[in-house]
Amino acid sequence: MPLSRPLRSALLLLATAVTLGGCAPGPGPEGPLPDTPEGMERAGAYTEAAEAYARRAEEATGEENARLRYRQGRALALGGKDVEALGVLEGLTRTGQAERAALLRARIHLRHQRFDAARRILENLAEQRGDVGALPADLQEAALDYLAQLELAQGYPEAAFDALVERHRILRAGEKQEESIARIRYLLASVPEQVLTERIDRVGEEFPSGYLRFERIMRRSARQPLERTGQELEGWLEAYPGHPLADIVRDRLDRVQEAPLRVAVLLPLDSRYRTLADAILRGMLAAYYRTDRGAGIRLDIFDTSGNAEGLDRALEQVYTEDYAAVIGPLTRAAARAYADRLQRGSTLPPSLLLNTTSNWAKTDPGVFQLGLDPETEAAQAAERAFQVGHRRAGILFPRTAWGERMVGAFQQRWEELGGTTRAMEPFDPDRSDYSDTLKAFLALDQVTARRQGLERTLQVNLPEYDTPPRREDLDFLFLASETLNARLIMPQLDFFAAGDLPVMATSHTHSPDDSRSDRRDMDGIHFQQLPWFLEPRPEHRQAAAAIEESYPGQQADLERLNALGYDAYSLVVGAWRRSLLLNDPLDRALSNIRLEGATGQLAADADGRIQRRLQWAEYRYGRIAPLPGMLTPGGK
């Protein structure tokens, strides 16, 4: 049941040797077994140790019996026999081992990603003691550790951070505190900047305030002039002169000096793609004029004409000049051609392609891809559904090539996670009545057939259902749909008594230019959207306003490309600033940068694709309500 790379990395880093040791079953023992169950455990003979503890427990009474049963359950868990372990541990709820047993049960559920079960145990434990802080110190540490793992796994890094800070405060100085600080610093890279600011205002002490402020400065360094970053680092040193990070801050202060940057931008301006290219260029220029005009940054625009010959002409000019980076080309064919030239030995500066190519295999460490492909959103819908505890999916999708691609991307990720698909129906996007599709999807014809069968068996006339029973084997619906189709499907689902079925969707169900104040026909849909539209940062809002003022006639559906252009510029310039600050090559800085962008939370994967984590929201009472976001990749 593989996890996404960011989630898997975060969980591996968070897992610690408390209670279960966070370990999978180890190899069996070699040589003769020790005589005691404790010795058997040390030798890795967990099954034999569990059996020995069970025999001892049969001869003991009271709390000694409970202690031995706990050790039996622990040995079973260490040996990978989690079902048997849970059976033993659940029998200790009214003994002096109840709290330790509860924590071990929570850890087992976490290991199997049964997050709801783990949360119930931890919450019940806190209620029984009034507060987690009322537990003995070792159990309190374990409970906070597991709570942090749970919050992070379910996409709440800020809550995980709070739990880890609380845990840190009860640790004694030494290796555990050093490990705790490393985990907290890693986790900070996943916390939104707004949350960093909130925590800084709240904690008011050197730990963890110094780490929080440092992380916020480094986050800002990618989008502001280095001079301002230098001023913030100097202010940090004045506030925390003896902090463990002080030497790192002094080292980075020594590198705070601007340098000229020349970027070649490759776009098909004189072609049928002109409208798209113009929208992207507007986003780039909005980012440039917001803070960087006069900062030594120069953008040179080259027309690729939308064909291979135009790309070659543009690249000839790039070869002859001293460019630090390239943004573009735009079309998928041009991106493939660009990658082919690199494979044939062409040497180009670090490059950010404005498209994603299928079956991409990174051949050059300096080449990255940024695009708005909808398949990524479908995969993230699968991840979100799994994170909130759903395991059985139903799918509705348009009978189009786009719909098939969306379903393929969703199912591939869903199956990787371990989910199952119980129902799947295509619909005609040009129709408005989806009764037949929804009846098949909800298996309502089977309900009618069962009622008619009962009538024949009992030889009576049974009343028609006022509200037909909804099928019980669906946890949620993945709706691959445009806005108009979703507006028609949702009320019809409600008509067939399935209005309570959770719905996950992509940004295509939300039209930012929809001016309706009441959208109750969409209530219940959880969807993704670009931060540019949903919860824009102040700089994104300013850029969007500047574009609207300068280009009032721009089509609404081009705003996504404005955001793409804004992020392309911000990634390259932000990585350049960090390369100066960290004394890293630009391609390494691009590999490591984390950016709260206009198109999502951005980070490069191992293949050079810039992964976008979108913001989640739901339609609720006719309004759009933002939801806590998914886990974002960690980093430096």
Tokens 């960011």 correspond to: 6
Q: What long-range pairs does 133-139 form, CB within 8 A, spacing at least 24?
A: 135/99, 136/99, 137/170, 139/99, 139/100, 139/103
Identify which of 97-101, 148-152, 564-568 has the greatest average pLDDT: 564-568
Sequence-separated (6 or more) residues with CB below 8 Å from residue 436: none
**In this model, does residue 2 exceed pLDDT 90?**
no
Confidence of residue 158 (pLDDT cuts 50, 70, 90): confident
| Of residues 606, 612, 538, 537, the one with CA closest to residue 571 | 612
Run of H or E residues at 150: helix 137-153
pLDDT digits (tens, 9 = 90+) for 161-204: 888 888 888 887 777 888 888 888 888 887 888 888 888 888 76
* Percentage of residues of the chain with pLDDT beyond 70: 86
Asked if 338 and 267 touch (Cβ cutoff 8 Å), the reply is no
Confidence of residue 54 (pLDDT cuts 50, 70, 90): very high
C-alpha to C-alpha distances, 418 to 3, 22, 154, 297, 474, nearest whole angstrom: 9, 21, 16, 48, 15
Asked if 507 and 365 touch (Cβ cutoff 8 Å), the reply is no
Confidence of residue 305 (pLDDT cuts 50, 70, 90): very high
Confidence of residue 100 (pLDDT cuts 50, 70, 90): very high
Identify which of 297-311, 330-344, 616-630 has the greatest average pLDDT: 297-311
- The whole-number pLDDT of residue 370 equals 95
- The whole-number pLDDT of residue 502 equals 95
Confidence of residue 632 (pLDDT cuts 50, 70, 90): very low
**In this model, does residue 558 exceed pLDDT 90?**
yes
Token pair in block for residue 624 = 């759009």
Token pair in block for residue 504 = 């996950």
Confidence of residue 631 (pLDDT cuts 50, 70, 90): very low
**In this model, does residue 418 exceed pLDDT 60?**
yes
CA separation for the pair 141, 133 (Å, rounded): 9
End-to-end alpha carbon distance in the chain: 27
- The whole-number pLDDT of residue 13 equals 35
- The whole-number pLDDT of residue 363 equals 64
Output the CA torsion sign for 65, 66, 67, 70. Answer: positive
**In this model, does residue 633 exceed pLDDT 50?**
no
Give bridge partners of residue 394 from the DSSP assignment. 423, 477
**In this model, does residue 128 exceed pLDDT 70?**
no
pLDDT digits (tens, 9 = 90+) for 342-380: 777 667 899 999 988 766 656 678 899 999 999 999 999
- The whole-number pLDDT of residue 113 equals 85
Confidence of residue 106 (pLDDT cuts 50, 70, 90): very high
Asked if 181 and 215 touch (Cβ cutoff 8 Å), the reply is no
**In this model, does residue 132 exceed pLDDT 70?**
no
Sequence-separated (6 or more) residues with CB below 8 Å from residue 66: 92, 95, 96, 97
CA separation for the pair 498, 251 (Å, rounded): 60
Token pair in block for residue 445 = 């014809």
Would you call 25 helix, strand, or coil by DSSP? coil
* Percentage of residues of the chain with pLDDT beyond 90: 51
Asked if 164 and 176 touch (Cβ cutoff 8 Å), the reply is no
Asked if 479 and 504 touch (Cβ cutoff 8 Å), the reply is yes
**CB neighbours of residue 112 within 10 Å:** 12
CA separation for the pair 218, 229 (Å, rounded): 8
- The whole-number pLDDT of residue 486 equals 95
**In this model, does residue 334 exceed pLDDT 90?**
no
- The whole-number pLDDT of residue 294 equals 66
Sequence-separated (6 or more) residues with CB below 8 Å from residue 248: none
Confidence of residue 461 (pLDDT cuts 50, 70, 90): low
**CB neighbours of residue 319 within 10 Å:** 11
Q: Between these two residues, 134 and 499, which has the higher pLDDT value?
A: 499
State residue 384 phi and psi, 5-degree precision: -65, -45
Rg of the chain on CA atoms, in Å: 28
Asked if 261 and 296 touch (Cβ cutoff 8 Å), the reply is yes
**In this model, does residue 318 exceed pLDDT 70?**
yes
The helix-helix angle for 62-78 and 82-89 (nearest 10°) equals 160
Output the CA torsion sign for 223, 228, 230, 236. Answer: negative
Indicate the length of the chain as a whole number: 636
CA separation for the pair 299, 226 (Å, rounded): 19
Average the pLDDT over each of 47-51, 84-88, 307-311 and give the range with the smallest value: 307-311
**In this model, does residue 634 exceed pLDDT 70?**
no
Confidence of residue 452 (pLDDT cuts 50, 70, 90): low
pLDDT digits (tens, 9 = 90+) for 217-236: 998 888 888 888 999 999 99
| Of residues 559, 555, 629, 633, the one with CA closest to residue 591 | 633
Token pair in block for residue 100 = 């330790």
Alpha carbon 35 to its chain's center: 49
Per-chain mean pLDDT for the chain = 85
Sequence-separated (6 or more) residues with CB below 8 Å from residue 593: 222, 571, 574, 575, 578, 602, 603, 604, 635
- The whole-number pLDDT of residue 446 equals 65
Please state the three-class secondary structure of 40-109 as a single string: HHHCCCHHHHHHHHHHHHHCCCHHHHHHHHHHHHHHHHHCCCHHHHHHHHHHHCCCCCHHHHHHHHHHHH
CA separation for the pair 142, 210 (Å, rounded): 25
Confidence of residue 544 (pLDDT cuts 50, 70, 90): very high
Q: What is the CB-side half-sphere exposure of residue 485 using CA atoms within 13 A?
A: 20
Q: Between these two residues, 132 and 334, which has the higher pLDDT value?
A: 334
CA separation for the pair 221, 592 (Å, rounded): 13
Confidence of residue 5 (pLDDT cuts 50, 70, 90): very low
pLDDT digits (tens, 9 = 90+) for 491-538: 999 988 888 999 999 999 998 877 666 788 899 999 999 999 988 899
C-alpha to C-alpha distances, 615 to 195, 394, 490, 530, nearest whole angstrom: 15, 23, 22, 6
- The whole-number pLDDT of residue 588 equals 94
The helix-helix angle for 559-582 and 226-239 (nearest 10°) equals 60
